[in-house]
Structure 1
Amino acid sequence: MATITSASFRHPATRSETGLFNEFRAFWRAFIAKAFDPYRPELHYMRGPGPAWRAKHVAVSPAVQSMLAEIRTAKAQKSSPSA
């Protein structure tokens, strides 16, 4: 019994063209995948400690404490209704 197999016979000149075409196609496929990738890690990663971390870990110097107290009293005076 004879077995029939499917094989494509190509001209030797088309093998290099097919290889070149495959390389070209692979380049553009990779380019489009990278260019239109929706994942943007810079949107998801923290850029540094925030204000809550600073409030918990950073000791405020006495000079800064006095400036903050002055600012708070000035704001309180500004927001209080004057008669």
Structure 2
Amino acid sequence: MAISGSAAALLPRPFAGFGQALATRWRKLSRHMFNDYRPELHYMRGPGPAWRAKHGQRG
């Protein structure tokens, strides 16, 4: 006995969102792995020229 299209829509689909979940995981993982924004390489490298002018060359 065949199931009609409208009845098949009511059956449980345990893997219905699997592809979307997998794609979301992959996007998050690849964004984390290939993130080239590294603020520690650009900011807070120590006192700048204004601080040295004010405090002298100690440190």
Segments of structure 2 that go 5 or more residues without pairing to the other structure are 1-5
- Richer in helix (by share): 1
Runs of 4 or more, structure 1, over 3 Å off, are 9-13
Pair member with larger Rg: 1
**Percent identical:** 33
- Could you say what the CA RMSD is over the residues aligned between the two structures, in angstroms? 2.9
1:44 aligns with 2:42: yes
Length-normalised TM-score, structure 1: 0.42
Q: Which runs of 5+ in 1 are unaligned?
A: 1-8, 65-83
Q: Would you say how many aligned residue pairs link Structure 1 and Structure 2? A: 51
How is 1:3-82 mapped onto 2 (pairs within 5 angstroms)? 12-13=11-12, 15-50=13-48, 52-58=49-55
Whole-angstrom distance in 2 between the partners of 1:53 and 1:40 = 25
Distance 1:28 1:46 in 2: 32
- Greater relative CO, 1 or 2 (CA 8 Å, sep 6+): 2
